[in-house]
Amino acid sequence: MKRLSDVFEDEFSSLVENIGDPKEAEEALKEDPDLVRFYIPLKARWSEISRQTKDVGQYLTDCAREIAKYNKDLQGVIDVVDFNATVSGQRIISDESLNRLIDILSEQRLGLKDVEPDILGRAYEYLLRKFAEGSGQSAGEFYTPREVAIMMAYIVDPKSGEEVYDPCCGSGGLLIKCHIRFKEKYKKQNEIAPLKFYGQENNHITYAMAKMNVFIHDMQAEIALGDTMNRPSFLSKDGSLKKFDIVLANPMWNQKFPEEVYEKDPYNRFQFGYPPESSADWGWIQHMHKSLKDNGKMAVVIDTGAVSRGSGTQGKNKERDIRKQFVDNDLIESVILLPENLFYNTTAPGVIIVINKNKPEDRKSKILLINISDLYEKGRPKNYLPDATIQKVHEIYRDWKEQESISKIITTDKVVKNDYNLSPSRYISINNKEEVLPLEEAIVELEEAEEERKEADRKLWEILESLRDKVL
């Protein structure tokens, strides 16, 4: 609200200079609110807010709703908080605390000429991270660790005019890091076409966080509210999925969807097979792949089990068989194994899978595996990747090179011989460490095996029933 008010004041001052009279400028705004980026009604301007001494919580809540009323892009974003809320009859935030916060914010201007959008963005990201640290398991639903997001932005490397999509965007961190990477790369070229960003989020509170995040970073972004797996929001005129140059995501790992979600899909997303009900990892990956343009690239951070589950088993395995299709069609470009205890909703490590529909000639029928499971720093409450590790991965991927105990280039034929196991630790040994199956991954494998057993039982009973009918 402080930022909105100060930006409005700057734009209003320019309007007064052009018109010559403040009253006439106000009248012009009433007739055409689009003369400014966001119209802020008099009650909600910071000069009025800073005067309040009584019923501050209710006043701020009313102001937020007034701002949303005049600016449809902020509806469901700025008006989702009740500053006057109580629990067991006690105010969550007292008027005294709100007054102190208002006094602190009043010490600085946050207008267009006072601060860069990135300053506010970094402050917002800092608060999101602190919020994540205090949110435990639920933090994984909205926050991807900063350094993982930066690494993914380096890998997808957005270029002028491209469209970037995150189907489960949380608070928008992956989109933000692509935006920042693009600005850093092209900061000296003023004629470069900006990126366009698209994101969908199912949780309405997290959706509001994402909307606020892209606004603070001054991005061209469309954020939609809804369930991507059942009702994707971004469609072409013919009703098919909209295609993007870059797709990246950190979906909920091992999410459970009934098989009918895949069977009844009207968008033809699951051509490579239906994932097991115990884990939608390869359902999300297939949605992302279907959302890519023919020359597009995607990066997804997902549970390590997604690249190894089912390999070495006899007969059919849903995840292994889907993975086989991606390998046989030469779509997988790289797999990066991350350290443990990076993510806020699990201590398990993750992997980044890079899929490229337009591999360079020298990368065809090859996959670059990178193992950085030991290249981290201890932190509280979570481990983190230092800048040197991020830069190392960027250089290895960019230069497509092998480095002892870190990266290895393998042929797809070798993956076939290993029954489509893509785990970097299978091919790159670090200090002779044995690969240990994380408990969460073991549980998913057990659930998948039970699912396959039930399916085998069902088919067996069908055969026995048909035989009985023939005998009778």
pLDDT bin (cut points 50, 70, 90) of residue 254 is very high
Look at residue 118 in the predicted model and tell me its pLDDT: 65
Q: Which domains does the chain have, with CATH numbers?
A: 2-115 (no CATH), 120-440 (3.40.50.150)
pLDDT at 468 over 90: no
Residue 133 burial class via C-beta count within 10 angstroms: exposed 0-12, middle 13-18, buried 19 and up: middle
Distance set, CA 189 to CA 97, 183, 193, 220 (Å): 45, 10, 10, 18
Helix (H, G, I), strand (E, B) or coil at 246: strand
pLDDT tens sequence across 79-137: 988 999 999 999 999 999 999 999 999 999 998 788 876 677 778 777 877 777 776 65
**How many CB atoms are located within 10 Å of the residue 34 CB?**
7
**How many CB atoms are located within 10 Å of the residue 422 CB?**
25
Distance from chain centroid for Cα 266: 24
User: 145 with 343: CB under 8 angstroms?
Assistant: yes
pLDDT tens sequence across 345-398: 788 899 999 999 999 999 999 999 999 999 999 988 889 999 999 999 999 999
Q: Provide the whole-model pTM.
A: 0.82
Look at residue 334 in the predicted model and tell me its pLDDT: 98
pLDDT at 324 over 90: yes
Query: Which long-range contacts (C-beta less than 8 Å, at least 24 apart) are formed by 66-75?
Result: 66/41, 67/1, 67/4, 67/38, 67/40, 67/41, 70/33, 70/38, 70/39, 70/40, 70/41, 71/38, 71/39, 73/38, 73/211, 73/215, 74/38, 74/211, 74/215
DSSP class of 341: S
Q: In the predicted model, what is the mean pLDDT of the chain?
A: 90
β partners of residue 218: none
pLDDT tens sequence across 202-221: 988 889 888 888 887 888 89
pLDDT bin (cut points 50, 70, 90) of residue 437 is low
CA gap 423, 303 in Å, rounded: 11
CA gap 22, 12 in Å, rounded: 9
Mean pLDDT of all residues in 260-288:
96
Distance set, CA 29 to CA 19, 401, 449 (Å): 11, 58, 64
CA gap 64, 244 in Å, rounded: 34
Look at residue 439 in the predicted model and tell me its pLDDT: 65
Query: 179-188, 210-219, 332-341, 430-439 — which is least confidently predicted?
Result: 430-439
Strand ranges (E), 312-359? 332-337, 350-356
Structure tokens at 155: 């890998």
